[in-house]
Amino acid sequence: MKKEIIGNTNVASEPAEKIERRSLVKAMGAATIAGLAVNASKANAQADNSNRFMPMRHSEDAWLDELSGSHRVFIDTSFPLGGSDGLLYSANLMNAHAQAYNGSDSDFAMVLCYRHISTPLAYNHNMWEKYGEIFNGIMNYPDPQTGEAPKLNILNSDEHAMFPGLTLDAMSARGVKIVICANATGFFAGQVAASTDQDSDVVFDELVANAMPGSRFVAAGVIATTRAQEYGYSLLYAG
């Protein structure tokens, strides 16, 4: 049998069938290794998924999932100017969506939140007529037409609207959900009570009863703002 010299080692030429068999074994081995690698990759992916963050759900937040719409937006306001801008932003979003995307208001699950110092902007005219001086003393938000403490809710006044139809009632009718901070309402109730010699719990109930129609009180506006993001809402901070 003919021999080949490779370095200092003598290797006999092998039959073709033996070489084929060895190649097949090598190929099978490579396939097995590749399969193990794929399985290991799948296992790692499953492990990654099992460790992925999943927020806890609470019944108090379930309303966020009940709003219909394919676009979820949460507009957060905490100061008077932000309360005004937030109302404007809600209209801008809906109007631009209709014009540029041929969409409709019903495409949105939109929340407009009044918390912190903007909270009284979600109370009706009656509360502003009765407690406007006190609200303005804290908010520093005078009536732009008189320069004095408002005697009505400026954001729900056609005469004060930046353009026709930009009022809380009008945007609520278009599907915007107004959310109010109960914690901040408690603060304002305490301030009103101290200034008018009333019981703060009585004032709190009065403010709640005179909130904008269709609005919703939440334990704290900051909680609603953060929980909304866990429910897939895009956050837009108005100020």
pLDDT at 238 over 80: yes
Higher pLDDT, 43 or 235: 235
Report pLDDT for 51: 80
- pLDDT tens-place string over residues 74-114: 999 999 999 999 999 999 999 999 999 999 999 999 999 99
pLDDT at 16 over 60: no
42 pLDDT tier (thresholds 50, 70, 90):
low
In Å, what is the CA distance from 181 to each residue of 26, 112, 199, 217?
70, 11, 20, 6
Report pLDDT for 50: 66
87, 195 Cβ separation under 8 angstroms:
no
Closest among 150, 86, 91 to 124, alpha carbons compared: 150
193, 203 Cβ separation under 8 angstroms:
yes
Q: Give the number of other CB atoms < 10 A from CB of residue 27.
A: 10
Q: Which of 42-56, 125-139, 190-204 has the lowest mean pLDDT?
A: 42-56
Report pLDDT for 46: 53
For 221, phi and psi rounded to 5 degrees? -60, -35
Report pLDDT for 15: 54
Q: Report the Cα 123 to chain-centroid distance in Å.
A: 23
Percent of residues, the chain, with pLDDT higher than 70: 79
Region for residue 58 given its phi and psi (left: phi exceeds 0; alpha: psi -120 to 50; beta: otherwise)? beta
Average pLDDT over residues 180-190: 98
- Enter the pTM of the model: 0.80
Amino acid, res. 151? K
Please give the CATH topology (third level) of the domain spanning 59-237.
Hypothetical Protein Ychn; Chain: A, (3.40.1260)
Domains of the chain by residue range? 3-50, 59-237
The tokens describing 73, both together, are 């937006």
CA 105 to CA 94: how far, in whole Å?
6
